[in-house]
Amino acid sequence: MKIHKRTTIHDIARKLNIAASSVSRALNNSSKVSAATKELILKTAEELNYKQNYMASNLRKGQNQTIGVVVPRINQNFFSNVIAGLEEVTYKNGYNLVICQSNESHEREVQCVETLINQHVSCIVISISVEHTNSEHLKNALAQGIELIQFDRVAPELETYKVINDNEQGAFDAVSHIISQGYHRIALLEGPQNLSIFRQRKAGYLRALEQHRVPVLEELIIKNAWTKELGAKATRKLLSMQNPPDAIFASTSDFSALGVLEVATQMGFKVPETLGICGYSNEAFSEITTPSITTVDQYSKKMGKAIADLYFQEIKEATNSNIYKTVSIKPKLMIRSSTQKKLKVI
Amino acid sequence: MKIHKRTTIHDIARKLNIAASSVSRALNNSSKVSAATKELILKTAEELNYKQNYMASNLRKGQNQTIGVVVPRINQNFFSNVIAGLEEVTYKNGYNLVICQSNESHEREVQCVETLINQHVSCIVISISVEHTNSEHLKNALAQGIELIQFDRVAPELETYKVINDNEQGAFDAVSHIISQGYHRIALLEGPQNLSIFRQRKAGYLRALEQHRVPVLEELIIKNAWTKELGAKATRKLLSMQNPPDAIFASTSDFSALGVLEVATQMGFKVPETLGICGYSNEAFSEITTPSITTVDQYSKKMGKAIADLYFQEIKEATNSNIYKTVSIKPKLMIRSSTQKKLKVI
DNA sequence: TTGTATGCGTTATCAC
DNA sequence: GTGATAACGCATACAA
């Protein structure tokens, strides 16, 4: 390991024959220092290539200008976009982002949170793993005085700040659109129901059916079809029925919808003519499949910014932290070819 | 802002009527502590919910268990995969990742590096922005004793550890394959030539043509066509020629190749029959376009792991840091439909 | 306005 | 083995 001596405020003080405290003040742009000495100090700081030591500064101030992020997977479009949005705002505020991935494992998630607590981050931003069973690790963070913002996949039993999509509305809009296109037997591929986002999407599906007086058929509701492979498997089963569905709403993701599309095409179904398909999340690829897939955009980057804004504008300065605000972002239905039975767009 | 008092080693020491230094030793699993007291200390540490303060520990030890990452964009498949790989290994080693994005701006990149230097990170992992003009900011980091690993887009003029793809070979393999399929007029969409990765890919293209005795036609080499839009624009121009190319190698990215595919389809060209298309990077979508796009996989996640391994296994422990190793990862040609003129695979 | 002194929480270096 | 003490670099209350 290389050893390297970096210049400190004492080095500057010594060189100028002044007190280190004056140097500190000047560098922090305090008003209690004359313009002349301030200028001199800044100049020599530049000369000596001085860099503030955040470890010392943070230790002294008792706070760490860092926000920890825990997501299931960094390399998933939705999450990397949220992180991109987050980074933009935190960077402007002079904060750093420490990023961890739980890989959808609860155990790993607990370890990540543990690490972030040890790092004394100011805030933890988290989207819980699919294995979520309890929130002890998050309560622990709160007990240590760390702010907590849950987003997208939130634990409803835990009262914290939350930034979510209106999943019920997103699903409702999607299914309403499907119905309006003349589809009647609409299957639902649902995600693990321990996660509220998937429960809400199912609720939106059911509300849309009810409101448009379309009967709910239990045999068309497939549990746990939330990956491309599971979506494909579910589709093989659905389309082999004597009376198959005429539309499939892959409420979990566009990946699942892609699995549906591939199997349907293989099995000779015409999309959208004999089978309508709708996904969720507006992954980049959903626009370029053949046909393009109707989906729901979650404004992921905007979500990241909203999380950061929530922290910097409300939480950080808050004196009363008993009111936990929930920010809900309205998703947007992206109507594409895969559901356009009536008006075929080229 | 909430104030919260966290338990320190002094709290534990006071409670047990022993010295704080003993507590520290016990928590660091030092051999100079009796098993009995160690056990007692660990037990009460647990009871009092003690968490080590890394700010203090790092300050005292003069090192920060953190690696800084600077990439053009977090939400780009290649980079988010590299980060995912990096995170996996750094996490295991008890290190954290601080992530910044330059948004392809040199100025912003300089600021990012500045921030990471201030954070006293142990190592900076960077892929330079397209605007790269000089490496003063990186030299500055080195001067502060921070290790530096460049990856993918590296500044060749700066001697550091590097983890790269063999871009020349990747392009050579791609173009050789295109030629083997019977294409003869092969256009090249090149990226900004100030970045070595794009120069190398061009070199691979030229070497393949030369080796297979295919003439190089200057009018088929299009500068700066590295986004989807620029790829589309270049394609409109190329396919409007009296004697258009029969294949296009979008050496910069699959995004560019996608632009090519869309325009070619619009203009009535049959892919791969009348026009072969090859991209670069193996973005997720390249597999699901119609037809699927032949491309070059860069093993992005593996690259992230290789970077982290390089740091933990070689750099961190190195006494002699004059030898800068370069790790080169061999890319893999992914042959898909868009270039399969001879053997059409379904 | 400037200087002095103290402490943030930890670890390393001494003594004992 | 254990305890006392200093120091990491900085920010701040207080004195001057």
- pLDDT tens, A143-170? 888 899 999 999 989 999 999 999 999 9
Q: Count CB atoms within 10 A of the CB of residue A153.
A: 19
Higher-pLDDT residue of B146 and B296 is B296
In A, minimum Cα distance to B4 occurs at A145
Which of A96, A121, A263 should be substituted to probe chain B, the one whose Cβ sees the most B Cβ atoms within 10 Å?
A96
Mean pLDDT of B137-156: 92
The pLDDT value recorded for residue B224 is 94
Cβ-defined contact of B59 to A64 (cutoff 8 Å)? no
Strand D close to A194 by CB, under 7 A: no
The 10s digit of each residue's pLDDT in A18-77 is: 999 999 999 998 888 999 999 999 999 999 989 889 889 999 988 788 899 999 998 888
What is d(CA B84, CA B72) in angstroms, rounded to the nearest whole number? 15
The residues that bridge with A295 in the sheet, in sequence order, are A334
The pLDDT value recorded for residue B2 is 45
CA distances from B65 to A156, B57, B82 (A): 34, 10, 20
Beta strand A66-71 with A123-126 is parallel
**pLDDT at residue B43 greater than cutoff 80:** yes
| pLDDT grade for A184, boundaries at 50, 70 and 90 | very high
Cβ-defined contact of A118 to B316 (cutoff 8 Å)? no
Most confident of A4-13, A326-335, B113-122: A326-335
What is d(CA A7, CA A10) in angstroms, rounded to the nearest whole number? 8
Give me the half-sphere count of Cα atoms (radius 13 Å) on the Cβ side of residue B217: 15
Mean pLDDT of A259-286: 95
Which bases in strand C are touched by protein, i.e. have an atom under 7 Å from a CB?
A: 1-5, 7-13
Give me the half-sphere count of Cα atoms (radius 13 Å) on the Cβ side of residue A98: 28
Residues with Cβ within 8 Å of A134's Cβ and at least 6 positions away in sequence, in order, are none
Can you tell me whether residue B273 is helix, strand or coil? coil
**pLDDT at residue A287 greater than cutoff 80:** yes
Query: What residues of A are in contact with residue B147 (Cβ under 8 Å)?
Result: 2
The pLDDT value recorded for residue A319 is 60
Is A73 exposed, middle or buried (CB count within 10 Å of its CB: 0-12, 13-18, 19+)? middle
Closest by Cβ to B58, choosing from A55, A101, A316: A55
The 10s digit of each residue's pLDDT in B181-198 is: 999 999 999 999 999 999
Cβ-defined contact of A120 to B80 (cutoff 8 Å)? no
CA of B164 to C1' of D12 (A): 48
Q: Cis (ω within 30 of 0) for the bond into B192?
A: no
